[in-house]
Amino acid sequence: MAESGKWYVLHTYSGYENKVKTSIETLIELRKLQDLIFDLRIPTETVTEERENGKIVEVERKIFPGYVLINMIVNDDTWILIRNIRGVTGFVGPEGKPVPLTEKEIQNLGIKKLQTTVEYAVGDTVKITSGSLENFTGVVTEIDIPANKVTVMISMFGRETPAEIEINQVALI
């Protein structure tokens, strides 16, 4: 049975993130480390900036400058190999010892999305199972899986009112 890696954070010199990522990818190929080092990420976001000339452009910006995320199995060999790559100052953790990210941290960083299954569709009648609107019933008008939200039209005080609720707080009747 193959081991599965955990996500760790590498600290690099600022501006060296892409060089470090490329160096590690080359090392993986040369040393045949695909069974120990699985994935590398440099978290980025797209932002809109206005230039001096008034032109608006979209720019990709690093969310955590100076850091690279790596999914790997840490042993003495991989730890030393990664640690000695030019531009890497060490793993994030006490005394430079790698500490894996928790599942919550991984989700918050958007590295790994939870697979959401929805047993209902737009137009289905559902019951709200928890929260402040618990036991209300209504009709699903919208499902937004990436945001983990569902919009349900419920009858409140004799009026139809849309309520935005988390997907796991609703069950098909």
Spell out the per-residue pLDDT of the chain, length 173, in tens: 345 789 999 999 999 999 999 999 999 999 999 999 999 999 888 888 888 888 888 888 888 999 999 999 999 899 999 999 999 999 999 987 899 999 888 878 777 655 567 888 999 999 999 888 999 999 999 998 777 789 999 998 889 999 999 888 899 99
Q: Give the span between the Cα atoms of 46 and 64, in whole angstroms.
A: 13
Global pTM reads 0.61
pLDDT tens across 87-126, in order?
Answer: 999 999 998 789 999 988 887 877 765 556 788 899 999 9
The alpha carbon of 156 is separated from its chain's Cα centroid by a whole number of angstroms, namely 36
Alpha-carbon separation of residue 66 from 10, 35, 90, 113, 148 (angstroms): 8, 26, 11, 24, 31
Domains of the chain, earliest start first:
6-109 (3.30.70.940), 125-172 (2.30.30.30)
